[in-house]
Amino acid sequence: MVTGPITSLTNSRIKAVVKLRKRRQRDATGTFIVEGYRELLRLIESGSSPQTLFVSHELFIGSNEPELVARCRNAGSEIIEVAADPFRKASYRDRPEGLLAIVDQFDTSLEQIPLEADPLVLVVESIEKPGNLGTMLRTAEAAGLSGVIVADPTTDPFNPNVVRASIGTLFAVPLAITDSSTAIAHLRTAGVNIVATTPDTPLPHHQADLTGPTAIVIGSEQYGLSTDWLEGADTKVMIPMPGSVDSLNAAMAAGIVVFEAVRQRF
Amino acid sequence: MVTGPITSLTNSRIKAVVKLRKRRQRDATGTFIVEGYRELLRLIESGSSPQTLFVSHELFIGSNEPELVARCRNAGSEIIEVAADPFRKASYRDRPEGLLAIVDQFDTSLEQIPLEADPLVLVVESIEKPGNLGTMLRTAEAAGLSGVIVADPTTDPFNPNVVRASIGTLFAVPLAITDSSTAIAHLRTAGVNIVATTPDTPLPHHQADLTGPTAIVIGSEQYGLSTDWLEGADTKVMIPMPGSVDSLNAAMAAGIVVFEAVRQRF
């Protein structure tokens, strides 16, 4: 189905997109915004497709966009042509690429994460910054993790800044959202070794065995891990750091411990 | 010396701050903007001090700001009181903290980086995103690196977004800016093992010896390393990745290899 083109800045469909920047509106509609070629390509490659795809040909920067639009159309997405100015209003980016979709939120229950055959899971507790969560999802995808558990999130993973920072890996990595006590019980029942990262422990991360079923747990930027995780952990590890602990960003700390586990499993 | 308070949005001193967002103006004046408590604290602790410190008490969010202002005053900084509105205009942040300084650019010659006693140096070539360069500086500080060489930069390290992303570690880590061929010659002369990271090589980074004098070289986000570095390297390493190579952010790749070197030196 093709509608449009939209030429008015006050078009109701454009306004509806802008509203989805608010979490309340995302929760109420069960949808979120996915913008950009790379992000939408990963969505399609995950076997999903947008509800609605807003397209502004004038803003295309590459030559592959029409093919992606065709794939969405074939998958049943509503395609809406939009003039450059209203598209810029709907866009969340400084330099819009002419592709922006409304997508159904997906299932983020713990069952999404496969826990067979020595799984390697990243757990992030109460992460605050969308950019950090997005970066962690990218790192999880690169490391081929079994999945990412977002425990007690203060930023929701459907935030447009998470989607952007994740460059769409949000659609490639199994993702669960839950509270910490449920996550701990779930991992324990599955026999997964819970490895909490904290500066307040003597064991270097590289001296811990990260080869069996393992969940690496990273705390919030500001407060680190809660006592739930520190007391629920089987192992506590720290990253040896010749410089200042507070210099290491939470996403970087996650990447360093995750890739140490990848090294041990090499 | 105390001037002000500034109450007008069109005050010439405020306009001069805003102009420093442009690289041309930073280069012409040899100065740059440093904003925020953490950033200015690291500046002071590096033994430096601002030319000028703009202060807006109404915007302070903590209780330690007056002490930092006093330290700048004692170090000879010009202190200028600013009302909240003109301060917000000068500020580069969404939530200004009431502290913003104009600081002299510092010496970024290669001689700034000590190359004695098994140095560990990070080289970043043609990095494009200020946020990535800032994150790399944080990681370099955490890892206690000998220094960071920024080769053929497309973003200048005095960009306000670098200062912000670095949370002031810009002032704690020895930093050099130069072209690639000069950097390669300098490292060779000093007997430093040049380790280039690239996906197109079979040797995993953790199987290379990173314990002697070592420079870890990371390429640009978009193009990776130039042939200058690939041909000038003593060793080429790749990060083994079960997932997609293009998911790993350049700053994350730098952190993973740098902390593998820290592990080997533990």
pLDDT, one tens digit per residue, over B132-176 is 999 999 999 999 999 999 999 999 999 999 999 999 999 999 999
Which string of DSSP letters, residue by residue, matches chain A?
-EEEEE--TT-HHHHHHHHTTSHHHHHHHTEEEEESHHHHHHHHHTT---SEEEE-GGG--SSSHHHHHHHHHHTT-EEEEE-HHHHHHH--SSS--SEEEEEE----SGGGS---SS-EEEEEES---HHHHHHHHHHHHHTT-SEEEEES-SS-TTSHHHHHHTTTGGGTS-EEEE-HHHHHHHHHHTT-EEEEE-SSSS-BGGGS--SSSEEEEE-BTTTB--HHHHHH-SEEEB---SS-GGGS-HHHHHHHHHHHHHHHT-
A32, pLDDT greater than 80: yes
Tell me if A141 and B244 make a contact (CB, 8 A cut-off): yes
Tens of pLDDT, residues B34-93: 999 999 999 999 999 999 999 999 999 989 999 999 999 999 999 999 999 999 999 999
> Average pLDDT in the A119-139 region?
96
**Other C-beta atoms lying within 10 Å of the C-beta of residue B140:** 29
**Chain B residues close to A255, C-beta within 8 Å:** 252, 255-256
B130, pLDDT greater than 70: yes
A9, pLDDT greater than 70: yes
> Average pLDDT in the B209-213 region?
98
Domain over A110-264 is classified CATH 3.40.1280.10: yes
Nearest to B143 among A145, A241, A266 (CB): A241
Compute CA B5 distance to the chain's CA centroid, rounded to the nearest angstrom.
32
A3, pLDDT greater than 70: no
To the question of pTM greater than 0.90 for the whole model, the response is yes
Tens of pLDDT, residues A117-128: 999 999 999 999
Q: What is the pLDDT of residue B174?
A: 96
Confidence of residue B1 (pLDDT cuts 50, 70, 90): low
Long-range pairs of A71-74 with CB within 8 A, sequence gap ≥ 24: A71/A44, A72/A40, A72/A44, A72/A101, A73/A2
Confidence of residue B246 (pLDDT cuts 50, 70, 90): confident
Q: Where in chain B is the domain with CATH 3.40.1280.10?
A: 110-264
> Average pLDDT in the B129-134 region?
95
Compute CA A114 distance to the chain's CA centroid, rounded to the nearest angstrom.
17
Domain over B2-104 is classified CATH 3.30.70.260: no
By the 8 A CB rule, do B237 and B201 touch? Answer: yes
Separation between Cα atoms, residue A111 and residue B138, nearest integer Å: 36
Separation between Cα atoms, residue B77 and residue B151, nearest integer Å: 32
B3, pLDDT greater than 70: no
B161 interfacial to chain A (CB closer than 8 Å): no
Q: What is the pLDDT of residue B4?
A: 64
Higher pLDDT, A221 or A191: A191
**Chain A residues close to B247, C-beta within 8 Å:** 138-139, 141-142, 167, 169
Question: Nearest C-alpha of chain A: how many angstroms from B250?
Answer: 11
Q: What is the pLDDT of residue B255?
A: 98
B139 interfacial to chain A (CB closer than 8 Å): yes
A202 interfacial to chain B (CB closer than 8 Å): no
- DSSP-based three-state secondary structure for B5: strand
Nearest to A248 among B138, B145, B263 (CB): B138
A204 interfacial to chain B (CB closer than 8 Å): yes
Nearest to A259 among B135, B169, B256 (CB): B256
Q: Where in chain A is the domain with CATH 3.30.1330.30?
A: 2-104
Q: What is the pLDDT of residue A230?
A: 97
Tell me if B141 and A262 make a contact (CB, 8 A cut-off): no
Confidence of residue B2 (pLDDT cuts 50, 70, 90): low
Tell me if A255 and B260 make a contact (CB, 8 A cut-off): no
B243 interfacial to chain A (CB closer than 8 Å): yes
Which string of DSSP letters, residue by residue, matches B91-147?
--SSS--SEEEEEE----SGGGS---SS-EEEEEES---HHHHHHHHHHHHHTT-SE
A130, pLDDT greater than 90: yes
Tens of pLDDT, residues A65-93: 999 999 999 999 999 999 999 999 999 99
By the 8 A CB rule, do A249 and A222 touch? Answer: no
B245, pLDDT greater than 90: no
Tens of pLDDT, residues A140-197: 999 999 999 999 999 999 999 999 999 999 999 999 999 999 999 999 999 999 999 9
Interface of A with B in 40-99 (CB under 8 A): none
Mean pLDDT of chain B: 95
Tell me if A144 and B247 make a contact (CB, 8 A cut-off): no
> Average pLDDT in the A112-119 region?
94
Pairing mode, if any, of strands B193-197 and B99-104?
unpaired
